[in-house]
Chain A
Amino acid sequence: MLNVNHLYKSYKTGNVTYEVLKDVNFKVDEGEFVAVMGPSGSGKTTLLNCISCFIEHDKGEIKLKGRELSKLNEKQIAKVRNEDLGFVFQDFMLLDGLTILENVCIPKVIKEEPYRVMEEKAKGLLKMFGILDIADKYPAEISGGQKQRTAVARSLMNDPLLILADEPTGNLDSRSSEAVIGAFLEAQRELNATTFMVTHDSFSASYCDRVIVMKDGKVYTELKSSGNRRAFLDELLSVLKNLNGGESNDNE
Chain B
Amino acid sequence: MTMNKVWDKLRKKNRTNYRQFQFCISFAVMLISSFLMMLMSPLVQNTLPTGGDSRTQIYMIFAIAMAGCTIFIIYATGLFYRFKSRDIGVFLALGTDKSKLTKATLAETAKIVAAYSVLGIAAGSIFSLFMGKIFQLIASRANDNKFAFTAMGFAGSFLYGAVVFLLVMAVMIRFMGKSNVMDILNQQRKQEPLKKTVTRGYLISGAAMVIAGLLIAFVMPTVVTKLFQHWMGAWTNLFYLLVLLGLYRIMVYSIASHRRGRNPQKYYNNVISYGMLKFQGGSIVRNMLVITLLIMGGLFASYYVPMTMSGLDGWTDIYEAMYNYRYPMNADEVTFEELEQLAAEYDVEIQDYREAEFVAVPASGIRSENWDENGNLIEEYEDRFAVNECIGASEYEELTGEKADVADGTYYMIMAPGTQESVFHMFGTMDKLYLGQSDEYLDMEYQGNVSYMSLAIGFGFDGEARYLISDRDYEVLKEGLDAEYIIKQVLFDTENSENVLDFSRTLFEQFVLRMSDNMNYISYYNELEHEAEGENYMYNQPAEVIADNPAAASDWKYAPMFVYMEEEYSLLKYAVYFLLFIYVAVICLAAVGIISYTRSQSVGISSRQVFDDVRKLGADKGYLQKLLKVQVKKVYVLPTVVGCCGMAVFELLMLFMNDGSYSKGEIQAMGAMAVLTVCVVLYQYLIYRMSLKKVAGMLELN
Contact = CB atoms under 8 A, between A and B. Distances in A.
Interface residues on B, range: 20 to 34
Contact of B271 (A78, A109, A154): A109
Contacts of B268: 105, 109, 115, 118
Interface centre among A78, A97, A102, A107 (most CB of B within 10 A): A97
A106 B620 contact: no
Nearest to B191: A96
B265 A115 contact: yes
B617 interface: yes
Given A52-B616, A96-B193, A138-B196, A115 B264 contact: yes
B275 A83 contact: no
A52 B276 CA distance: 25
A98 B271 contact: yes
Contacts, number: 84
Interface string A100-118: 0010011101111011001
A203 interface: no
Chain A interface residue number, banded = 20 to 34
Given A96-B193, A102-B271, A110 B279 contact: no
Q: Is the contact region of chain B dominated by helix, strand, or loop, or is it mixed?
A: helix
Contacts of B264: 115, 119
Contact of B620 (A74, A93, A114): A74
B272 A95 contact: yes
B610 interface: yes
Nearest to B275: A97
Contacts of A202: none
A95 B275 contact: yes
Interface string B262-293: 00110111011011111100000000000000
B617 A87 contact: yes
A82 interface: yes
B614 interface: yes
B72 to A, nearest CB: 25
A107 B272 CA distance: 11
Nearest to B276: A97
Interface in A102-143: 102, 105-107, 109-112, 114-115, 118-119, 138, 140
A100 B60 CA distance: 47
A79 B196 CA distance: 32
A81 interface: yes
A11 interface: no
Contacts of B9: none
Interface in B207-221: none
Nearest to B277: A97
A109 B271 CA distance: 8
Prevailing SS type, chain A contact patch: helix
A175 interface: no
A85 interface: yes
Interface string A44-64: 000000001010000000000
Given A95-B276, A97-B193, A82 B617 contact: yes
A74 B347 CA distance: 84
B272 A109 contact: yes
A118 B269 CA distance: 11
Contact of A107 (B191, B618, B622): B618
B613 A93 contact: yes
B86 to A, nearest CB: 17
B690 interface: no
A94 B76 CA distance: 28
Contacts of B623: 78, 110
A82 B619 contact: yes
Contacts of B275: 95-98, 102
A75 interface: yes
B621 interface: yes
Contacts of B615: 78
B282 to A, nearest CB: 14
A248 to B, nearest CB: 30
Contacts of B622: 75
A176 B599 CA distance: 39
B279 A79 contact: no
B278 A97 contact: yes
Interface in B271-327: 271-272, 274-279
Contacts of A110: 272, 614, 617-619, 623
Interface string B600-631: 00000000001001111111111100000000
B616 A106 contact: no
Contacts of A96: 191, 193, 275, 279
Contacts of A98: 271-272, 274-275
A97 B616 contact: no
A106 B279 contact: no
Interface string A137-160: 010100000000000001000100
A79 B617 contact: no
B272 A106 contact: yes
A81 B265 CA distance: 23
A115 B260 CA distance: 10
Contacts of A95: 272, 275-276, 610, 613-614
A85 to B, nearest CB: 7
A138 B191 CA distance: 14
B332 to A, nearest CB: 84
Interface string B383-398: 0000000000000000
B615 to A, nearest CB: 8
A89 B278 CA distance: 23
Most chain A beta carbons < 10 A, residue from B264, B275, B279, B623: B275
* A-B residue pairs, 4 tightest by C-beta: A82-B618, A97-B275, A78-B620, A81-B618
Given A95-B610, A118-B268, 18 more contacts: A74-B621, A75-B621, A75-B622, A78-B623, A81-B618, A87-B617, A93-B617, A95-B614, A96-B279, A97-B274, A98-B274, A102-B275, A105-B271, A106-B272, A107-B618, A110-B619, A110-B623, A119-B264
17 contacts: A74-B620, A75-B621, A78-B619, A79-B618, A82-B618, A93-B616, A93-B617, A95-B275, A95-B613, A95-B614, A96-B279, A97-B274, A98-B275, A102-B271, A109-B271, A110-B623, A115-B268
Interface of A: 52, 54, 74-75, 78-83, 85, 87, 89, 93, 95-98, 102, 105-107, 109-112, 114-115, 118-119, 138, 140, 154, 158
